[in-house]
Structure 1
Amino acid sequence: MPDDPGRRERKKQATRQALVAAAVRLFADRDYDEVSVADIAEAADVSKRTFFLHFPTKEDVLLADGAGRAALAVRAVEERAPGAPLSETLAAAADRMITSAEADLPTGLAALRARLVVTSPAVQARVLHTTFAAQTRITAAVRDAYDLDDVTAAALVGALMGAISAATITSLERGDTPEETLAAMRTATSVALRCAVTPGS
């Protein structure tokens, strides 16, 4: 009897979650550079081969849903209501990303990522690469949807994502609760859109 596709997907997600949870525990207990892919795989009770089926590098465990969040933002732009103002569309895109990020906050993954991005060059480089790739995808969607020039679209998306990222790191560094961090992300969205998008646009 063929394996149920839904069951396979649930098993895949469960394995990813186990790898992320194992990595968070190990990175919290030991120096980041001392933790290997083999250590994470062993802690999650899977093989190294299974690890690499889910994550290209050790750093990617910290960015488990980065690409997915960018896709959510792009979808928000593509699914906008006819005639929706730019500010409304950007707010919807930000809301989808923030809602998706909510699951990371209680696990400690977001706080760990914020700490390592300033202490580990490898993590910092991977985060910057992932963030740039996400911004590029969202920028292209916004540019095409609103017939903007490249610079304007990039500036709007960069201002929004930069504000959310900076507010998130600040909130995590001062030890805010997950609820307070989510509130900080939403405040950053409002501030960025108020400053970057003119009324009525």
Structure 2
Amino acid sequence: MTADERGGIRERKRAATRNAVVIAATRLFLERGVSGTSVDDIAAAAGIARRTFFLHFPAKEDVLFHYLEGHVRRAVAALDDLPEGAAGGAGHGAAGVRAVMAVLVDLFEDPRARTDELAALRAELVTAARGLPPSLVVRLQRAQSELVDALRGKFPDPAGWPVMSAHLGACMGAAAAAAVAVERPEQRAAAIRDAVDRASTGFERDPGA
């Protein structure tokens, strides 16, 4: 067996274990709530040791955002699908921000992604804690930085980077606020989409017009 084959097996095992953790935690969170579920409970339900849990998530609350890295990868990939010439267009990369946010919102709405399954618990967590736990703040900041780096790669003119970063931050902040504020699940995706559209206002004008 080659080193690449061994590496592939390790990655598949790691992915399978992570998925088992997500499935177990999701079931327990929905049954007991986040506060009523411990890391030991999740580890036992997933059939793993406690220490193995922490190889995948720094805290139980992070499982609420288990989809984040995969969604970011999908959003970054969407930049490759922009039409030729978009990188040279007006609006300081507005087309790129729009493309990224469209993927993130679509994935949130897609039942196959199961992003919305724990949305109510995320809102409850934020309300109870009056903000996000530190570990989640770090993960969200890392996700936004990855998106900014990808946008800068697609739109390499540094003059447009400040506005482009502000545009992305405004959209992501609006999406997060809308997701927490809406109580009825069937209205959440539409509210997020509307919030992102409103946050984009003013960023998509040609600055030279």
| Fold shared per TM-score above 0.5 | yes
Return the match for 2:138 from 118, 125, 129: 129
Percent identical residues: 35
1:41-56 → structure 2 map (5 Å cutoff) = 41-56=43-58
CA distance in 1, matches of 2:76, 2:119: 22
1:186 and 2:196 equivalent? no
CA RMSD of superposed structures (Å): 3.2
Calculate the TM-score normalised by the size of structure 1.
Answer: 0.77
Q: Secondary structure at the match of 1:185?
A: helix
For the 8 Å contact 1:70–1:97, the answer to whether it is kept is: yes
Return the match for 2:84 from 82, 86, 106: 82
Q: CA deviation at 1:145?
A: 2.6
Q: Deviations over 1:56-75 (max 9, x none)?
A: 33232122121222222222
Task: In structure 2, give the amino acid aligned to 1:39.
Answer: D
1:2-41 → structure 2 map (5 Å cutoff) = 9=12, 13-30=15-32, 32-33=34-35, 35-41=37-43
1:109 and 2:118 equivalent? yes
Return the match for 1:73 from 70, 75, 83: 75
Task: In structure 2, give the amino acid aligned to 1:151.
Answer: P
Q: Secondary structure at the match of 1:82?
A: coil
Calculate the TM-score normalised by the size of structure 2.
Answer: 0.74
Q: CA deviation at 1:163?
A: 1.4
CA distance in 1, matches of 2:14, 2:62: 16
Q: Which runs of 5+ in 2 are unaligned?
A: none
For the 8 Å contact 1:72–1:96, the answer to whether it is kept is: yes
1:154-193 → structure 2 map (5 Å cutoff) = 154-171=165-182, 174-177=183-186, 180-193=187-200
Aligned to 2:129: 120
Task: In structure 1, give the amino acid aligned to 2:96.
Answer: T
Quickly say closer, same or farther: Cα 1:67–1:57, change in 2 above 3 A.
Answer: same
Q: CA deviation at 1:83?
A: 1.3
Aligned length in residues: 195
Task: In structure 2, give the amino acid aligned to 1:160.
Answer: C
Q: Secondary structure at the match of 1:118?
A: helix
Q: Deviations over 1:156-179 (max 9, x none)?
A: 1101111111122222xx2232xx
Aligned to 1:151: 162
Q: Which runs of 5+ in 1 are unaligned?
A: none
Quickly say closer, same or farther: Cα 1:122–1:175, change in 2 above 3 A.
Answer: closer
CA distance in 2, matches of 1:65, 1:27: 16
Quickly say closer, same or farther: Cα 1:198–1:148, change in 2 above 3 A.
Answer: farther
CA distance in 2, matches of 1:63, 1:114: 12
